[in-house]
Structure 1
Amino acid sequence: MTVAIATAMAGKAVEVAGEPVRAAVAELSRRVRARFRGRAADEDALARAAEDAGGIPALEGAVRRLLDEDPALRAELEAIWNQAQTRAEASDDGVVNVFNGRAEKVVQLRDVNGDLNIN
């Protein structure tokens, strides 16, 4: 989520599945951008990332710090993110796989023809 927010805030293209997720990323970015106002270091990270995509990791770090400092904002943004992901739709021959949480390994498949062994 934080990578998508930082990338969108920097004005770079974000690859997401479906309109609900695109709209959610725009809303999340708007809310975080508003919270960055008056925070010089965060505004500077945003400006650098907007100039050069190489600055996106630093901007993502600023987003993470903001969310760590404000658990209520984090919960609010995660709720928007999760709701949008559950409404994501694939078009044509596309696939949408949604995974939330933590795991050692996650396997998501679509069409499997023949045997499949996972060890």
Structure 2
Amino acid sequence: MTLAIATAMAGKAVEVAGEPVRAAVAELSRRVRERFRGRASDEDALARAAEDAGGIPLLEGAVRRLLDEDPAFRGELEAVWNHAQTRAEASDDAVINTFNGNAEKVIQLRDVNGDLNIS
């Protein structure tokens, strides 16, 4: 999520699945950009990433620090992100597997031909 936000904030193309996720990335980027106002080092990271894609890791670090400093804000962003992912739709013959939460093991499949045994 933080990489998608940083990339979008820098004005670079972000490859995501479907319109709901694209709209969510735009919304998340707007919210983070608002939080960056008045934070000189974060604004500098944003300017550097906008000039050169090589600055995106620095910007992602700034986004991560912001979210670490404000867990409530992180929760808001994660809720927007998770909601958008659950609304993503596959087109043509595509598949979208979505998993949110914690699990010891997750198995996601598409076409299974024949027997399947999971132990």
Q: Rate the CA distance shift 1:28–1:114 in 2: closer, same or farther, 3 A.
A: same
2:25 corresponds to: 25
1:2-27 CA distances to partner (integer Å, 9 max, x unpaired)?
A: 11101110111111111111100000
Counterpart AA for 1:40: A
Fraction of identical pairs, as percent: 88
Where in structure 1 are there 5+ consecutive unaligned residues? none
1:52-101 CA distances to partner (integer Å, 9 max, x unpaired)?
A: 11111111110000001111111111111111111000111111111224
Bigger shift: 97-106 or 22-31? 97-106
User: RMSD of the alignment, in Å?
Assistant: 1.8
Cα distance in 1, alignment partners of residues 45 and 9 from structure 2: 11
2:75 corresponds to: 75
Q: Rate the CA distance shift 1:106–1:7 in 2: closer, same or farther, 3 A.
A: farther
1:64 corresponds to: 64
When the two structures are superposed, what TM-score results if normalisation uses the length of structure 1?
Answer: 0.88
Matched residues, number: 119
Cα distance in 1, alignment partners of residues 116 and 49 from structure 2: 42
Cα distance in 1, alignment partners of residues 80 and 15 from structure 2: 17
1:10-55 CA distances to partner (integer Å, 9 max, x unpaired)?
A: 1111111111111000000000000001111101111111111111
1:14 corresponds to: 14
Counterpart AA for 1:50: A
2:96 corresponds to: 96
Bigger shift: 95-104 or 8-17? 95-104
Where in structure 2 are there 5+ consecutive unaligned residues? none
- 1:109 CA drift (Å): 2.8
When the two structures are superposed, what TM-score results if normalisation uses the length of structure 2?
Answer: 0.88
Counterpart AA for 1:59: L
Cα distance in 1, alignment partners of residues 64 and 5 from structure 2: 10
1:50 corresponds to: 50
